[in-house]
Amino acid sequence: MRITFMLLDAFTIDGTVRSTFTLAGELARRHDVEIISVLREADEPALALSGRVRLRSLVDLRTEGRSRWPVGTRAARLKDAPSTLVHPQERCYDHFSAWTDDRITRALRRLRSDVLVTTRAGLNLAAAQLAPRRTVTIGQEHLQLGMHRPGILSEIEHWYPRLDAVTTLTAADREDYRRLLPDGSCPVYAIGNGLPDRLFPLSRQENRVIVAAGRLVWLKGYDLLIDAFVEVAEKHPEWRLRIYGKGPRLDALRERVTRLGLFNNVLLMDATGDMEGEMAKASILALPSRSEGFGMTIVEAFACGLPVVAFDCRRGPREIITDGHDGLLVPPEDTAALAEALIRLIDDEELRRRMAGNARTTARAHRVGEVATHWERMLTELRSAR
């Protein structure tokens, strides 16, 4: 099969990019796979991509004087005009323009692939309207349904039935999308993200480090984690918290660390392309998200032999973590409970090591080979239905 994935920006460090690269690389062992990136802001992707997968971009945003996609008077006229293809309530609407509309429309109408997988609501809606009918179109949802704004929800209800299928990352999300869409109008599958098929560095459970990683945005709850770490630092001042990532909350989080007197205990690290290596230097992963679509960071931490302490938000962590077995779940946004759970694992090394071993076993069920098998089975069903 010829399979095309479409990402907004394949050249950044992002959970959707990481999981798409992993799945595409595995499928490329048996299929002809390409990735289309709407935007390009760097010479090379920040994350590793299999040489079996082709990568091309539609709009090159690299600085003046660098080799980039030819732009002419049409691009100059359209690049500063707002998008009309993408709904204004799309969470990344500011990244779209009339120029991206033009490039996306041309790419979709000229597509020659057997399968198209788009990876966010704005692109899913575009595919439903513009992709050739001969192409099996799949809208991959990385967001919980409830995280979409009303305007996008209305568009989803109207246009998603034009897709051949929708995939979600959790079973709970699958049921939400099934309830929204007209009965039988569009199959919805729950297929989680997969771990790369390789050896992961393992934590020796000796370093007094707790790690967290992700976009520095409100939903990720790093303000809550920093608040919880006040109590952790009081009881265990020798332990450190390292938060890896970048985003609009960086300055606010840095100010919070200083105000709470945690500058010796909490380090705000830059995003890294070797997060697994940094996890292996830690002993616990903290996931303080207010909301999670899936929680790939959990699976990656498990593969590195880290138990995970997470808020039991409505989606994601509870479908991966078995409380008391490979991690601990605490009530959402309860900073006291989060601190207590972290201290429990710090105090009880035997428990922490036992959970670390169980976590490695849990990770095996999320290997990309298993995930790709689910995808191939779904694609076979959808193509047969045609």
Closest CA to 81 of 96, 60, 63: 96
Whether residue 359 contacts residue 327, with contact meaning beta carbons closer than 8 Å, is answered with yes
Query: Which single residue is written with the structure tokens 């590195």?
Result: 304
* Contact criterion met (CB below 8 Å) for 379 and 136: yes
Whether 2-196+367-385 and 209-364 share one fold: the answer is yes
3-state secondary structure 130-175: HCCCCCEEEEECCCCHHHCCHHHHHHHHHHHHHCCEEEECCHHHHH
Q: Where is 38: in which H helix or E strand? A: strand 32-40
49 Cβ contact partners less than 8 Å away, ≥ 6 residues apart = 10, 21, 24, 25, 35, 55
What superfamily in CATH does domain 2-196+367-385 come from? Glycogen Phosphorylase B; (3.40.50.2000)
Structure tokens at 347: 């105090």
pLDDT score for 71: 55
* Amino acid 65: pLDDT: 40
Give the integer Cα–Cα distance in Å for 336 and 246. 26
Helix (H, G, I), strand (E, B) or coil at 375: helix
Check residue 62 and report its DSSP letter.
P
One-letter amino acid of 59: V
> How many other β-carbons are positioned within 10 Å of the β-carbon of residue 179?
10
pLDDT for 296 equals 86
Show me where the domains of the chain are located: 2-196+367-385, 209-364
* pTM, two decimal places: 0.82
* Close Cβ partners of 250 (under 8 Å, ≥ 6 residues apart): 216, 268
pLDDT value of position 63: 59
CATH class (in words) of the domain with range 209-364: alpha beta
CA angle 167, 169, 175 (to 5 degrees): 70
Write out pLDDT tens, residues 354-379: 999 999 999 998 999 999 999 999 99
How many whole angstroms separate alpha carbon 107 and alpha carbon 98?
A: 14
Instruction: Give the DSSP letter string of 298-365.
Output: HHHHHHTT--EEEE--SSSHHHH--BTTTEEEE-TT-HHHHHHHHHHHHH-HHHHHHHHHHHHHHHHT
Query: Which residues of the chain fall short of a pLDDT of 50?
Result: 64-68
DSSP output for 2-17: EEEEEEEETTS--HHH
Give start and end residues of each alpha helix (H) in 147-274: 150-159, 171-180, 222-235, 250-259
CA distance 258 to 237: 16
- Host H or E run for residue 20: helix 15-27
**Is residue 219 within 8 Å of 291, Cβ to Cβ?**
yes
Q: Please state, in angstroms and rounded to a whole number, the distance separating the CA atoms of residues 79 and 100.
A: 8
Residue 205's nearest CA partner among 350, 330, 327, 361 is 350
